[in-house]
A = this chain, B = another copy of it.
Amino acid sequence: MMTPQVLEEINKIFIAYIEQKQLRKTPERLAILEEIYSRTDHFDADELWISMDNKNYRVSKATVYNTLELLVECNLVVKHQFGNGKNLAQYEKSYGYKQHDHLICMKCHQVIEFCDPRLQTIQSKIGDILNFNILHHSLIFYGDCTKENCEKNKKANV
């Protein structure tokens, strides 16, 4: 997934966005983008900050939040509000992924992705009926995964 080509692509997109809004192309912003795309799965602002810190790349949390917001604006990152107990915003890289939604195990907090094209049908139908210009959506299914290691994961994750 994280091929050099992808890195080049997302950098191009981000830089184009930065230039369009007449912002500055700072090393911190690019480093945060790269770090995000080197990760897999979901993360929160603090986890991202810690993993950069672990690599001895010091950025302030304010900059992390600031950059995440920019990346959400230009659709390179998606922000989620999973109701995982805490009110913690989770993020996810989005370039190159096909649109997908999430299924969350309420016991072990595992997050699984899925995609059902019929959701698009619902989305456009509802938009038409209610006269809304729907730009994006969030669909989350909550339940119990029936995996035997579910409780084990719980200890590791929470």
A105 touches B132 (CB 8 A): yes
Confirm or deny: A13 has a beta carbon within 8 angstroms of a beta carbon on chain B: no
B133 touches A141 (CB 8 A): no
Confirm or deny: A135 has a beta carbon within 8 angstroms of a beta carbon on chain B: yes
- With A89-B87, A116-B125, A125-B116 known to touch, is A142 a contact of B133 (CB < 8 Å)? no
Residues in chain B near residue A137, CB distance under 8 A: 139-142
Q: Which residue of B lies closest to A146 (CB)?
A: B131
Confirm or deny: A31 has a beta carbon within 8 angstroms of a beta carbon on chain B: no
- With A103-B132, A118-B121, A146-B131 known to touch, is A126 a contact of B138 (CB < 8 Å)? no
Confirm or deny: A6 has a beta carbon within 8 angstroms of a beta carbon on chain B: no
Copies in the complex: 2
Confirm or deny: A145 has a beta carbon within 8 angstroms of a beta carbon on chain B: yes
B81, B119, B122, B140: which contacts A87 (Cβ < 8 A)? B81
Q: How far is the CB of A137 from chain B (nearest CB, A)?
A: 5
- With A112-B130, A130-B112 known to touch, is A135 a contact of B145 (CB < 8 Å)? no
A134 touches B83 (CB 8 A): no
Binding site for B on A (CB under 8 A): 79, 81-83, 87-89, 103, 105-106, 112, 114, 116, 118-119, 121-123, 125-127, 129-147
